[in-house]
Amino acid sequence: MNRKQKRKLIAVMCLLVALSIAAGLILYALKQNINLFYTPTELLQATTTPKQTIRLGGYVKKGSIHYDASGTHVHFTVTDRTHDIDVSFDGVLPNLFREGQAVVTTGNLTAEKQFEAHEVLAKHDEKYMPRSLAKDLQKPIVR
């Protein structure tokens, strides 16, 4: 092996090592989950102050939606099926907002498991089917 080949070999080795470490780091990072929003479980582990604005995401718990007398104020529970957080919201809800629907809410954690939202977005899942079919299946819409 002459000098030039040796040099090339070293370069390729360095490249491979760097890339494999990079791949490892990426896998590690993905396992840790990088988020647009935090799930209730994640949020309860963190120590946040009421001042901080946070995105909370999860499913609207069955039977948890309560409207105020005024009709604009709404309370519901967001769950990831391990932990729940109660959300209160004052404003216009998106069309898709309903029980079992995935939502992303923005707001502040005011007390233990109490969330004050100033924005609620509905997250649509990847299923598309006609109404008749959905009725036939009669299966819960949540995952």
* Smallest distance from another protein to CB 87, Å: 15
Tell me the one-letter amino acid at 133: L
Question: Which among 65-73, 82-90, 96-104 is the span making contact with another protein, rule CB under 8 A?
Answer: 96-104
**Burial level of 2, CB count in 10 A (0-12/13-18/19+)?**
exposed
**Residue linked to tokens 């890339």:** 19
Report helix, strand or coil for 71: coil
* One residue of 18, 66, 75, 81 binding another protein per CB under 8 A: 18
Q: 3-state DSSP call for residue 98? A: coil
CA angle (22, 24, 29) in 5-degree steps: 95
Nearer to another protein, 69 or 135 (CB): 135
The residue with tokens 């104020």 is: 73
28-87 residues near another protein, rule: CB under 8 A: 28-39, 42, 46-48, 51-55, 57
Residue 80 near residue 40, CB atoms below 8 Å:
yes
**Comparison of 7 and 69: residue with beta carbon closer to another protein:** 7
132 near another protein, rule: CB under 8 A? yes
Should residue 92 be labelled a site residue for another protein when binding is judged by CB under 8 A?
A: yes
Q: Which residues bind another protein (CB under 8 A)?
A: 7, 14-15, 18-19, 21-23, 25-26, 28-39, 42, 46-48, 51-55, 57, 92-97, 104, 106, 118-135, 141
